[in-house]
C-alpha cells in the first residue's frame, strides 16, 4: 500500500508504450463507491470477492501494465493466475511506508496505528509477494523514475 504502484505503473506504461490499469480503480468504477466505503458497508470479505473477479477480468483483457491491490495475492486462485506472467514486487521499509501513506483515510487497513498494522500485514504477506514475483524491486531512497528504470532493468524489457 502506497509503495508507488500507480506512480511507477504509469511511468512504466509510458516508457513501454502500453496502457496502465489498476484493479482498485476497476472495483471503484464498477461499484461506484470508494474502497473504504466498500470495506465499511460490506466488509473485507465482500471486497476480496470483488477484487478476485476484477483481477481475473483485467488479466484476461488488459495487455499492458496492471497494478493489483495490495491484498490481491491473499487469494490462491489469483496467485495461480499470475504464474507465467511478469510480476514485480515493489518493496519498501516501514518508515518509508508511513511517510508515503501518511494518515490517508483512503486505506482502510491502515486507518488505525498504521506503523503496527503495516508491519503485521507485511509479516503475513511478504512470502506471498515473493512467491508470485518474478522480480523484487526495492523503492526506498529511489525516485519514481529510478524505480521505473530498475523495473525495466529487472525485467530486461526494451522501451517502445
Ligand X SMILES: Nc1ncnc2c1ncn2[C@@H]1O[C@H](COP(=O)(O)OP(=O)(O)OP(=O)(O)O)[C@@H](O)[C@H]1O
User: Binding site, residues?
Assistant: 2-7, 24, 48, 70, 107, 125, 142
The 12-51 contact track toward ligand X, x by CB under 6 A, reads ------------x---------------------------
Number of residues that bind ligand SKM (CB under 6 A): 9
Binding segment toward ligand X, per CB under 6 A, in 4-12, 39-47, 71-79, 150-158:
4-12
3-class DSSP assignment, residue 49: helix
**Can you list the pairs that 130-135 forms with residues at least 24 positions away whose Cβ atoms lie under 8 Å?**
130/89, 131/73, 131/79, 132/73, 132/79, 132/82, 132/83, 132/87, 132/89, 133/87, 133/88, 133/89, 134/85, 134/86, 134/87, 134/88, 135/86, 135/87, 135/88, 135/89
Residue nearest to ligand X (CB): 4
Name the residues that contact ligand X, by CB under 6 A.
Answer: 1-7, 24, 70, 100, 107, 139, 142-144, 147
Name the residues that contact ligand SKM, by CB under 6 A.
Answer: 1, 24, 35, 69-71, 107-109
Amino acid at each position: 500500500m502506497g509503495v508507488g504502484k500507480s506512480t511507477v505503473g504509469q511511468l512504466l506504461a509510458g516508457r513501454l508504450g502500453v496502457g496502465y490499469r489498476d484493479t482498485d480503480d476497476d472495483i471503484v468504477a464498477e461499484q461506484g463507491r470508494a474502497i473504504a466505503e466498500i470495506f465499511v458497508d460490506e466488509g473485507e470479505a465482500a471486497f476480496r470477492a470483488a477484487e478476485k473477479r476484477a483481477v481475473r477480468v483485467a488479466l484476461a483483457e488488459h495487455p499492458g501494465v496492471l497494478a493489483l491491490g495490495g491484498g490481491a495475492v491473499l487469494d490462491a486462485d489469483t496467485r495461480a493466475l499470475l504464474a507465467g506472467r511478469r510480476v514485480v514486487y515493489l518493496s519498501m521499509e516501514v518508515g518509508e511506508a508511513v511517510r508515503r501513506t501518511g494518515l490517508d483515510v483512503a486505506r482502510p487497513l491502515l486507518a488505525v496505528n498504521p506503523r503496527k498494522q503495516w508491519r503485521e500485514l507485511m509479516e503475513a504477506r511478504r512470502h506471498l509477494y515473493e512467491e508470485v514475483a518474478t522480480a523484487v524491486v526495492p523503492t526506498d531512497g529511489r525516485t519514481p523514475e529510478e524505480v521505473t528504470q530498475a523495473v525495466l532493468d529487472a525485467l530486461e524489457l526494451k522501451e517502445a
